[in-house]
Each structure stands twice: as structure tokens, then as C-alpha cells.
Amino acid sequence: MVKRILVALGGNAIKQADEKGSPEEQFRNCMITCKLLAEIVKSMEKNDGMIITHGNGPQIGNLMVQQEEARQIVPAQTMDIVGAMTQGQIGYMLQQALLNCLKDEGIETPVCVIVNQVQIDKNDPELLGKAASKPVGNFFTEEEAMAVKKEHPEYIFKKVKPVGEKAWRRTVPSPYPMANVEGAAIRKLVDAGFIVIASGGGGIPVIQDEHGRYKGVEAVVDKDLAGERLAEVCNANVFLILTDMEKVKLNFGKPNEQDVDKMTDTEAKKYLEEEHFILGSMEPKIKACIQFLESGGEKAIITSPDKTVEALEGKTGTLIYRN
């Protein structure tokens, strides 16, 4: 059976939490991640395929700070445009790093980046009130977050980690992805043998007006949920989510915390109902895996970037599969 894998890279695959996000740091992290991706490609058969998507939380947060600080000098760009900018930035770094890693392995598979739009519902609840749930930018202490809030009362800050001093981040609307606008083009590239990097940061959120014309929205679509939509379009049978944990945990941050080696989609739904997973963090990842399996996917795996190869071999990570 042809193996087609969609890899969803978390922000830590590009920028670590304790880093400033310099070009040198980000390129170094991309190289580390892409060496592992190149190992996967090396093990693939001729007609297998790979699609890559990635987060952009730290990058879009930092770029939004730059927009704000330079407002008196040059016009600030809207969040959808900033999302497109980070798609290009991160896509370029991953593309170059992966091409170089493949070349080191003697592999000539072409890699391309698509600046990708994702359609959302203009009436999505996330766009209303203080429902915004997607963390972006740097982590803050509660005091630091409230200090920024005084300067920008329109910002929404939420505690996104149950433990740790810097557990607060700014949150922005994260509407549900309905469709991948460039999906058909991406599918053709994958069918033609390209490794495609797309839907970065969840894609650029757009709505359609009454005439069918697209328009950008100031929001950030969850990259794992959008990645699942892309996996459906490309007929992927394996969905690999790389995050900052080797395995999914139940009772995260509590004394009875425990790793999960594997679970069925039914068990995953049960754990969701019992609120084991953090909103805006592990929760959308689990939802994306369930949706992937229900749409016909073979298996979903969640693990950390350094455990990529071992997880695909079934040696670690959390495997989620259909009953």
C-alpha cells in the first residue's frame, strides 16, 4: 500500500521556548528537524509521498510586535498578511533545510512551498467576544501579561499552562477550518512526486462574500486541524504531529499524570469529554487525530521531533487508531 504521510511540525521544531528567534537559531532548529524528515523520506518507496505543515505561533507573535513598534514609521500589516509573511519565512527555512538534508542523503526529491489560504465561516464563534483561544507570541508571567494588557486593552491574555511561572500568552481568534482553498493544486504536486510544505500556521484564514470572492480575516487557524483538512485532500494515510511531548499525557500537570502509549478514537473522545487535554494546545491535536481517522485515515501519531523515526517504527510516541 502506498504510504502518504502528513507531518505537522510544532513551533518548537523551529523556535525553542528559551530562544529569541534569531535567523541562526531558527535555521539550526530547522536543520535538526529536517535531518529526521530526510530519514523518513529515505525509507519511503518510490510512489510514497510527504506533505509538511507547521506552526507559526512564536513567529507571528514576534512579527506582530514588530508591526506595533514600527507603526509610527511604516504602516502596520493586518494579521492575515502577517500570517502570509510567516508562511513564506518558515516555508523558506524548512524548504532550504530539507533540500540540503535530502542532498546529503543523495535524494533528489523536489520540495516546494505553497502560500496557502484556508476558508472559514464568517460567523464562527471564535470571532465573537472573548472566545479567542489560540495562543500566539511569547510566554509571560501573569504580571507581565497584565502590564501589556494595560497598554493594549484590546488584547486577550489567557493562562495556557497549568504549571510554570511563564504560563500566560496572548490569544487570538482560532476559527474552524472548513476547506483548503489551494487543496487541488497541492494534491497534484504531491501526486507528481513533490514534497509540499503548505497550510503553514494553519493557513491564511479567508471568508467568501456573497459573490464568492475571498477576503482575509484577522485570526489564526489551528495548524493541526487545518493540517488534517490538508491530509484529507492529499489522501494521506498517516498523520504525524510533532510537538513538545514524547507522548500524550492524561491528567497533565497533576500528581497522577500518566503517559499514553496508544488509544482508540473512541477512547480519545472519552478523554476529551473528561477534559484531560489543554484548550488550544493538546486538545486541538486530539480533535484533529479523531477527525483524520473518521475521514478514513489509517493512524495518527503524536510525539516530539527528536523521536520522529522511533515513533513511526512504533517504538515510542502515542498511537491513535480506529476501533
Any idea which residues carry the catalytic annotation? Answer: 11-12, 134, 223, 285
**Residue written as cell 513567529?**
59
What's the rounded Cα separation, in Å, for the pair 241 and 239?
Answer: 7
Per the CB < 8 A criterion, the answer to whether 54 and 201 are in contact is: yes
Produce one character per residue of 259-268: b if its CB has 16 or more CB atoms within 10 Å, e if not: ebeebebeeb
Distance CA(85)–CA(91), nearest Å, equals 10
236: its cell numbers: 494521506
CA–CA distance, 3 with 154 (Å, rounded to integer): 46
Direct distance between the N- and C-terminal alpha carbons of the chain, in angstroms, rounded to an integer: 20
CA–CA distance, 316 with 130 (Å, rounded to integer): 38
Round to whole Å and give the CA distance between 234 and 189: 10
- The C-alpha cell at 121 is 465561516
Residue among 205, 144, 143 at smallest CA distance from 173? 205
Three-state DSSP state, 22: coil
318 DSSP β-pair partners: 302
C-beta of residue 217 within 8 angstroms of C-beta of residue 205: yes
